[in-house]
Amino acid sequence: MLSSRPLNALHPVALIGAGPGDPELITLKAVRTLAQADVVLIDDLVNPLILEHCPHARVVRVGKRGGCRSTPQAFIQRLMLRYARQGKRVARLKGGDPCIFGRGIEEADWLTEHGVPSTVINGITAGLAGATQCGISLTLRGVSRGVTLVTAHTQDDSNLNWSALAQTGTTLVVYMGVAKLADIRLGLLAGGMRDDMPVAMIENATLPNQRECRSTLAGMQQDALDFALQSPAVLVIGEVAAQHAQAVLAAAHSA
């Protein structure tokens, strides 16, 4: 469909990170942009409380809460394009950060190819916030020299090279890992990671129903079962996952 407006008159589509769950963990820029939006496309895992910042916008839910299949990506993209071409201010709200396992740049590129400008507003990614809320510093000085963010879920269902990841010596933060605990555990053990390597499994991070299960590499699969670990959850695997910094916990609970 051809645009009824000159392309340079279109508002950029804002791809916004809604943060990990706590509705206060969102940037001022995101809040200001939401307040100006005409249409907000809200993704799965975005806390609906954030919609208080856009009371006048039309809200379109494009997530898969409740076990439904997610709205197909191509449909969401076409929806953004259609509203933008109508001259509307479109905001696309995504959980965490739009560019961490969030297709933010893919969508921005696709919009560019279709002649619509876009902008990305960062959010706090779940792995970072979840670790902090459990008193874990992902790069604790003298313990961890780096972090690897990795998804256990691949588009073609191929297995990741967990053995190679074991050998990086960095803290691993695994997204979308709940259904893949067996593969992760076996792969990391095969890669030479210690079987008593600490693991923290953090469910619903930063939300009132946040839960954490501390375990080890060898025990994580059974412990997750006993704990009935559910998605969304992130796994922190590495020496730092043994930490429980009390100062952080005290601050989080008094906030």
Which residues are catalytic, by number? 43, 64, 176
Task: Judge residue 121's burial from the number of C-beta atoms within 10 Å of its C-beta, 0-12 exposed, 13-18 middle, 19 or more buried.
Answer: buried
175 binds ligand SAH (CB under 6 A): yes
* Residue closest to 206 by CA, chosen among 141, 149, 139, 123: 123
Which residue from 50, 205, 213, 241 is in contact with ligand SAH, where contact means CB under 6 A? Answer: 205
101 binds ligand SAH (CB under 6 A): yes
Which residue from 135, 187, 232, 238 is in contact with ligand SAH, where contact means CB under 6 A? Answer: 232
238 binds ligand SAH (CB under 6 A): no
Nearest distance from C-beta of residue 4 to ligand SAH, angstroms? 33
Which residue from 131, 234, 236, 241 is in contact with ligand SAH, where contact means CB under 6 A? Answer: 234
Instruction: Please give the full DSSP string across 57-85, using - where no structure is assigned.
Output: SEEEE-S-GGGPPPPPHHHHHHHHHHHHH
Reduced to 3 states (helix: H, G, I; strand: E, B; else coil), residue 129 is: helix
Which residue from 50, 54, 111, 126 is in contact with ligand SAH, where contact means CB under 6 A? Answer: 126
Distance, CA of 113 to CA of 81 (rounded, Å)? 11
95 binds ligand SAH (CB under 6 A): yes
Longest Cα separation, the chain: 62
Choices 56-64, 67-75, 107-115, 124-132; region in contact with ligand SAH by CB under 6 A: 124-132
> Tokens for 90?
């479109």
DSSP class of residue 195 equals T
Q: Applying CB under 6 A, which residues contact ligand SAH?
A: 20-21, 45, 94-97, 100-102, 125-126, 130, 175-176, 202, 204-207, 231-234
